[in-house]
Amino acid sequence: ETGVTQSPTHLIKTRGQQVTLRCSSQSGHNTVSWYQQALGQGPQFIFQYYREEENGRGNFPPRFSGLQFPNYSSELNVNALELDDSALYLCASSLQFPGLSNEQFFGPGTRLTVL
């Protein structure tokens, strides 16, 4: 196990609702990234937070937003849910310094179903 935890494990919402997913990073890691993995696809990068600031964003609309807290835990918020938002959402943590990148360690994911 990586030490990255996510909650909840599963979640069912309806279109138009809002959802918050949570992630606890591996101890000592200062960077968290969020990915969306649709069924049968590879993970797609949503955004990354480094020291509590957004540090890169993929091709996702503004209704996907996030936070990173001083203890390096993180939230992913999705507003106005759409059916296509149904996916496995993965959180990954890593230890970064400027100019140096290390591998990311993934949590088990949150399975979101939008009805």
Partner 1 sequence: AQSVAQPEDQVNVAEGNPLTVKCTYSVSGNPYLFWYVQYPNRGLQFLLKYITGDNLVKGSYGFEAEFNKSQTSFHLKKPSALVSDSALYFCAVRDLYSGAGSYQLTFGKGTKLSVIP
Nearest to 112 by CA among 12, 7, 45: 12
Beta strands 110-114 and 105-106 are unpaired
Q: Which residues bind partner 1 (CB under 8 A)?
A: 2, 4, 6, 31, 33, 35, 40-45, 48, 50, 55-56, 58, 90, 92, 94, 96, 98-99, 101, 103-109
Gap between the Cα atoms of 85 and 73, Å rounded: 23
Torsion angles phi and psi, residue 82, rounded to 5 = -120, 160
The residue among 92 and 112 lying less far from partner 1, judged by its C-beta, is 92
Between residues 31 and 74, which has the closer beta carbon with respect to partner 1?
31
- State which residue, 58 or 67, has the beta carbon closest to partner 1: 58
Report, in Å, the least distance between residue 3 CB and partner 1: 12
Cβ atoms of 33 and 91 closer than 8 Å: yes
State the nearest-atom distance from the C-beta of 90 to partner 1, in Å. 6
